[in-house]
Chains A and B, each alone.
Chain A
Amino acid sequence: MVNPCNLNVPEERLPSLPIDLNQVEGGSSLWADAWYRLRKNRFAVISLVVFLGITLFSYVGPFFCPYGFEEMDLATRAQGLSLAHWFGTDGLGRDLLARVMYGGRISIGVGFIATAISLSIGVVYGAISGYAGGKIDSVMMRLVDILYAMPYAIFIILLMVIFGRNIVLLFVALGAVQWLTIARIVRGQVLSLKKQEFVEAAVSLGLSDSRIILRHVIPNVLGVVIVYATLTVPSIMLLEAFLSFLGLGVQPPMASWGVLIKDGAENMTVYPWTLLIPSFFFSLTLFCLNFLGDGLRDALDPRSSKD
């Protein structure tokens, strides 16, 4: 049996793969292989499961929760953990379980949307720069260097202050500062890719530059991009929470985990659980995403070393 993946995968393990490798074409073997390696990484799998659980909890949970996230009930102010309020209530009588779920929606949503924005900017920018080469490349990368030197946390604070604290702007601002690294990575990949035969073939077939970039170059850098994206999500969530903690991010009545941690920190002397519970969920999510990113890196690029 000739198998496209048999270099790395022991024969007896093959039946457990999700795809029948005899039927897939050579091109998808990388993904099947990566999926196999990822599943062998126990930490990464646990992280993935826990993260999916938290996501489900945040997005589906509210439908089963009898309380609204901003529903105040002064009769049940600052109650500890109980059957009626699993996570207790805060100083205004709002159910903390509902708030944690709702905050999770915003935090996770911001993380993913802003990552998508930063990826689309970074991948296209890096691909153009690497593919064009020469003067265009050096000018474009010079710009990235200059932007790198900027204290971007300060700039986001500035943006939020000046243009009002609305959530759409927050998405864009967070996405806009995170594209630099991905642009650099993609450029490096493209530089080496464009010397390869299949790009030459595409050029000699007379395809347009934009088509070559979009259809032939970008799919080949996808692995690196996915790994980086998984690590960008937690860093954007961190930045969002950082802003919200300072009172510059998500504004009431909306809530994110950063807002909840801020509220909790203000009241921790009286009701410590309002600090501990959101902190726990936030940290756990960051842990999972970081582990998952590391696992994906090992899976998709087994040659790269860990540190």
Chain B
Amino acid sequence: MFKFILNRLLQAIPVLFIIVAMTFFMVRAAPGGPFSQERKVSQQILEKMNEHYGLNDPVYVQFFNYLKHALQGDLGYSYKHEGRTVNEMIAESFPVSLKLGALSLLFAVGVGIPAGVLGAVKKNTFWDYSAMSVALMGICLPTFVVGPLISLIFGLWLGWFNVSGWFESGDVVLPSITLGLAYAAYIARLTRGGMLDVLNQDYIRTARAKGLSPSAIVWKHALKGGLLPVVSFMGPALAGLISGSFVVETIFQIPGLGRHFVNAALSRDYTMVLGTVLFYAVMIIIANLVVDILQVVLNPRLKYE
């Protein structure tokens, strides 16, 4: 177990290095520096600023400087927000995104698993078909269609929620549903498939023969095995949640990291972009590791590979 985790962490190092290197050199290859926009600054000031930010050094020196600081957890200053560090901005906005992501996952799991179980238990009935058709729609409808639509319907026409914003406690509902809908759909399909596999196995027949109640069989015995595909889906799901958060936070004007990233990208705030990408990459790697460990916990037949 320990060796497995260590191994995976070691594998993550080259991945992270390549991500940082690619991002860094892409950013440096961009036409125009961070100060070459809007107001013209005098040559002297420009020199001074380039000097201050170390932009006059050769690129590889800049790269290793950046790497050195990043390893110490220092992602530098934002180019656009004066006097603010990238660390500060991530620390401030990430909890918002985390809350949104957690609530969406909660929604996805809370809706997806029961729907999938229902589909599997009542296989090929009306319930199965309606649950799976709704799931298919959830998969095909992209976030940026669902978001404006439910904001239009429930925010504007029915007036149940605010159209956008992140102030009252009710404001979390529409964004979480928007972000979680596709995952609820995937989870429902995966749960159904996994449960169908498990329900045909011998140990379920044994449980039935022992005279256990159907609900105990489904929820206690079958579900644990039936959820395996869902757990392995969680790793890729996180990466999707992150890019989904760009859209959802933009639609609902939520001050999270996703919106910061998009704004930084649009305004060419290179250090912020670089820092955010690095931060996301680390998050994804950690999440994948956790998912791998969870999979083995749920299914001891898998050996740590």
Contact = CB atoms under 8 A, between A and B. Distances in A.
A246 B251 contact: no
Nearest to B157: A272
A245 B247 contact: yes
A283 B277 contact: no
A305 to B, nearest CB: 9
Interface string B15-30: 1001100110011011
A184 interface: no
Contacts, number: 113
A158 B140 contact: no
B189 interface: yes
B49 interface: no
Query: Interface extent on B, as a size class?
Result: 35 or more
B41 to A, nearest CB: 22
B193 interface: yes
B280 interface: yes
Given A162-B26, A272-B152, A307-B192, A157 B265 contact: yes
A162 B27 contact: yes
Nearest to B26: A162
B78 to A, nearest CB: 15
B34 interface: no
Contacts of B246: 153, 157, 246
A36 interface: no
Contacts of B141: 283, 286
Contacts of A155: 22-23
Contacts of B288: 149
Interface string A129-156: 0000000000000000010011101110
B142 interface: yes
A207 B142 CA distance: 48
Contact of A151 (B26, B30, B251, B281): B281
Interface of B is mostly: helix
Interface in B187-244: 189-190, 192-193, 239, 242-243
B243 A151 contact: yes
Nearest to A262: B144
Interface in B238-269: 239, 242-243, 246-247, 250-251, 261-262, 265-266, 268
B251 A247 contact: no
Interface in B133-160: 136, 139-145, 147-149, 151-152, 156
A150 B189 contact: no
B14 interface: yes
B136 to A, nearest CB: 8
B148 A146 contact: no
Q: From DSSP, what is the main secondary structure of chain A's interface residues?
A: helix
Contacts of A174: none
A154 B26 CA distance: 13
Contacts of A146: 14-15, 18
A268 interface: yes
B90 interface: no
A282 B145 contact: yes
Nearest to B29: A162
A269 B136 CA distance: 28
B135 to A, nearest CB: 11
A161 B263 CA distance: 11
A40 to B, nearest CB: 19
Given A158-B265, A268-B148, A246 B247 contact: yes
A265 B262 CA distance: 17
A241 B145 CA distance: 10
B140 A283 contact: yes
Interface string B109-145: 0000000000000000000000000001001111111
Interface of A: 146, 149-151, 153-155, 157-164, 238, 241-242, 245-248, 258, 261-262, 264-265, 268-269, 272, 275-276, 279, 282-283, 286-287, 290, 307
8 contacts: A150-B19, A151-B239, A157-B261, A158-B26, A238-B142, A246-B262, A268-B148, A272-B152
Interface of B: 14-15, 18-19, 22-23, 26-27, 29-31, 136, 139-145, 147-149, 151-152, 156, 163, 189-190, 192-193, 239, 242-243, 246-247, 250-251, 261-262, 265-266, 268, 273, 277, 280-281, 284-285, 288
What 10 A-B pairs are tightest by C-beta distance, nearest first?
A153-B243, A265-B148, A162-B30, A307-B193, A245-B144, A279-B145, A161-B265, A149-B15, A286-B140, A287-B140
Given A163-B30, A242-B243, A290-B140, 4 more contacts: A153-B246, A157-B262, A269-B156, A290-B139
